[in-house]
Amino acid sequence: MQELNRSQKARFSIRAFKVIADALLLRGYFKPVGASGQKLVEALSVLSPEIYGVMNDPQRVELSGLVYIMDRLPKGIEQCTRYTFSAAEGLQEGFETIMPLKRRRNSYRVNGKEMCFEITRGQSEIYDILTHITFLGIEMEKIRKRGYDEDGKTQEWIQLEEIVTSKKKIKSLDQEIWNLSKIVGATFEETKKAYLRLESSGDYNNGLFQIIYWLGKRAWQAHQDPSEGHLVIFTPSLEEMMGKHLYAEKWATNIKQILQQKKLIDRPLHIISSNLHSIRNLLSCYAVGKSKGKDVYETVKFVKGQDDALNRHALKHGMIDYKDTSKSHIDCQIIDATKIDFANLHPDVKADEDYIKKSKPVLLVMDYAFGEQAFEVMDELLKPYQEQKLNVSSISVMGKAGILPGKKGDIMLPTAHIFEGNTDTYSFKNRLQVKDFTQDITAYRGPMITVLGTSLQNRDVLNYFLESSWKAIGLEMEGGHYQKAIQSAMIRQHIKENVALNYAYYASDNPLQSGQTLASGGMGDSGIRPTYTISNVMLHKILTKPKS
């Protein structure tokens, strides 16, 4: 029997993780330390994702990966042993809503040991959380083994416990970080970096000392008494709503109702999946910043933090701000382009006023969807409203993605989306070309991989897609799902087949380069130029007359 190579093993592990997760959802529960949970551990360990660094080293806690997931899990998760996944069941009426720093999802601390995740964004959200919980289980066992020995608590653990349980102020932070570094098996520098990154998260996390202490303590309690072990539960309400687009349908209906009420539903509609600051800022930054002589990127940087002023200006000039009430967690802006403040538009933002007054375009800027949720919301949005088809003229998708041949800040222009793990591919005509972008920013054009999750990638799989005949330029989570919904809408004649498509991503990370994975931290101000370059090119395509 031919032995699988490393890339094949990794791809098999990704598929295995998904199949196991789907089976456990149908079962309704599992124990992370039980046979089913260990299958997830095995799949993740074989995969050995780049974002989780030294996860497979039994002597070292993967601190960068730990910080990464703590920013995406609710505060206090380290103290819990019960993780419940549910649909929206009205828990906000009786419990405090906890929103992670870098994920738009509602969670609830039901009691001292139980955390409930409200799943409203599809199966990608379940895979995302299960990946993090599986990783957490691996790391907490390392902490237990390093904090406790056959004689009980180690001296380092006793010192950590005193810090966490007493209210005394730490006398020497560096000394305590040095002590903690011995528990986690990391260098002093690595431990301090992780400590400072969590401190920068503000009140969204409990800090490195508490996180390490509670992870180790809960693992020790479970080791001593199996009844104290961790348990994952999927409620019947969650199983019933999966695949039914319940929240996406409410979201899309709310948007269409606004378009109808404002008498915009017949106008040419340009859908833009993007963050909610780029388009608004491009249209309003010059009026708010009054920065003569500065290019648009400097102007945008100058008005950073002036959201109230930018919103006031945008609302006076055609913008409608929609805060989501469907629990899809996708806010929107509807912009009547005929009301743009053309007299105070930055010179770098090209718009043809005569063309706009004549064609009367409407922009629908929607915040990022998450993974498979992209199919649900786009599928529902493109459906007719009360038997009236929307006049969709263009669909633009701007987001961040991992790049394979380049570096952080580069731009990727997909020509096709390839679903990781199966043979589904979606090719399309991307109206954006490399020549649309200035020479001071590098742009790549080619196929992109739509992945199951950013935490489920390793070097061998990514090298396969880069170096094989696929010649993929990057990986992201939503593009293929969007395109699946768009082509479905074309087949059903909900939208025209000649709808213009504009896809572009900027590189937030390069998972093939050490120190450039998502776990290494955000881009900061270095993300301004690629983000606004893409947004400006997309606006130019929409707000000027197409070339025949």
Half-sphere exposure of 339 (CA within 13 A, CB side): 15
Backbone angles phi, psi at 430, to 5 degrees: -85, 120
Sequential DSSP letters for 292-328: TT--HHHHHHHTTT-HHHHHHHHHHTTEEEE---SSS
Q: Are residues 186 and 252 in the same domain?
A: no
Residue of 87, 79, 140 whose CA lies nearest to 115: 79
Residue 157, token pair as written in the block:
């653990």
pLDDT confidence band for 3 (50 / 70 / 90): low
pLDDT at 514: 57
Where are the alpha helices (H) located in 81-225, listed in sequence order? 123-147, 155-165, 173-184, 188-199, 208-224
Residue 171, token pair as written in the block:
């006398």
CB atoms within 10 A of CB 271: 26
Quote the CA–CA distance of 144 and 255 in Å, as a whole number: 50
User: Considering all CA atoms of the chain, what is the largest pairwise distance in Å, rounded to the nearest integer?
Assistant: 81
- Average pLDDT (270-296) is 91
Q: Are residues 254 and 181 in the same domain?
A: no
Between residues 517 and 527, the one the model is more confident about: 527
C-alpha 125: how far from its chain's center? 10
Helix axis angle, 208-224 to 123-147, nearest 10° = 80
pLDDT in tens, 390-412: 999 999 999 999 999 988 889 99
Q: Are residues 399 and 432 in the same domain?
A: yes
Half-sphere exposure of 477 (CA within 13 A, CB side): 21
CB atoms within 10 A of CB 371: 25
Q: Which helix (H) or strand (E) holds 538?
A: helix 528-543
Q: Are residues 213 and 270 in the same domain?
A: no
Q: Beta partners for 334? A: 320, 364
CB atoms within 10 A of CB 23: 12
Indicate if the pLDDT at residue 202 is higher than 60. Answer: yes
pLDDT in tens, 411-437: 999 999 999 877 689 999 999 999 999
Q: Which helix (H) or strand (E) holds 479?
A: helix 479-491
CB 238 within 8 A of CB 85: yes
Q: Are residues 220 and 77 in the same domain?
A: yes
Quote the CA–CA distance of 163 and 51 in Å, as a whole number: 30
Q: Are residues 217 and 352 in the same domain?
A: no
Q: Structural domain tally of the chain?
A: 2
pLDDT in tens, 82-129: 999 999 998 989 899 999 999 989 999 999 999 999 999 989 999 999
Q: Are residues 481 and 360 in the same domain?
A: yes
Sheet with 107-111, edge to edge strand ranges: 29-30, 231-234, 82-86, 114-118, 107-111, 97-98
Q: Are residues 519 and 452 in the same domain?
A: yes
CB 308 within 8 A of CB 399: no
Indicate if the pLDDT at residue 19 is higher than 80. Answer: yes
Domain that holds residue 486: 245-543
C-alpha 399: how far from its chain's center? 10
Residue where one domain finishes, among candidates 205, 223, 240: 240
Residues 6+ apart with CB under 8 A from 17: 40, 43, 44, 47, 127, 131, 452, 456
Quote the CA–CA distance of 231 and 202 in Å, as a whole number: 29
CB 341 within 8 A of CB 317: yes
What does each C-alpha distance from 145 to 67, 179, 216, 285, 432 come to in angstroms?
A: 20, 16, 8, 54, 53
Indicate if the pLDDT at residue 524 is higher than 70. Answer: no
C-alpha 525: how far from its chain's center? 19
What does each C-alpha distance from 35 to 31, 46, 130, 139 come to in angstroms?
A: 8, 16, 15, 18
Q: Are residues 252 and 215 in the same domain?
A: no
Q: Do the bridges between strand 269-273 and strand 474-476 make them parallel or antiparallel, or are there none, so unpaired?
A: unpaired
What does each C-alpha distance from 398 to 52, 97, 263, 448, 476 come to in angstroms?
A: 27, 30, 27, 14, 11
Quote the CA–CA distance of 99 and 105 in Å, as a whole number: 6
62 occurs within a structural domain:
yes
What does each C-alpha distance from 219 to 99, 215, 447, 460 come to in angstroms?
A: 25, 6, 44, 32
Sequential DSSP letters for 150-165: TTEE-HHHHHHHHHHH
382 occurs within a structural domain:
yes
pLDDT in tens, 218-259: 999 999 998 889 999 999 999 888 878 889 999 999 999 999
CB 452 within 8 A of CB 478: no
Q: Are residues 417 and 360 in the same domain?
A: yes
* Least-confidence region, from 163-172, 199-208, 224-233, 280-289: 163-172
CB 251 within 8 A of CB 324: yes
548 occurs within a structural domain:
no
Residue where one domain finishes, among candidates 240, 259, 275: 240
CB 507 within 8 A of CB 402: yes
Provide the mean pLDDT of the chain: 91
What pTM was estimated for this model as a whole?
Answer: 0.91
Indicate if the pLDDT at residue 338 is higher than 50. Answer: yes
Q: Are residues 295 and 172 in the same domain?
A: no
CB atoms within 10 A of CB 106: 20
Residue where one domain finishes, among candidates 240, 257, 284: 240
Residue 249, phi-psi category: left (phi > 0), alpha (psi -120 to 50), beta (remainder): alpha
pLDDT confidence band for 1 (50 / 70 / 90): very low
Q: Are residues 486 and 537 in the same domain?
A: yes
Question: The domain that contains 393 carries what CATH number?
Answer: 3.40.50.1580
CB 458 within 8 A of CB 49: yes
pLDDT at 48: 87
Share of the chain residues as helix, strand and coil, in percent rounded to the nearest 5: 45, 15, 35
1 occurs within a structural domain:
no
pLDDT at 521: 59
What does each C-alpha distance from 540 to 282, 328, 334, 435, 465 come to in angstroms?
A: 11, 29, 18, 14, 32
DSSP assignment letter at 206 = -
Quote the CA–CA distance of 369 and 323 in Å, as a whole number: 14
- As a three-state string, the secondary structure of 450-466 is ECCCCCCCCHHHHHHHH
pLDDT at 515: 60
333 occurs within a structural domain:
yes
In this structure, the chain runs to a length of 548
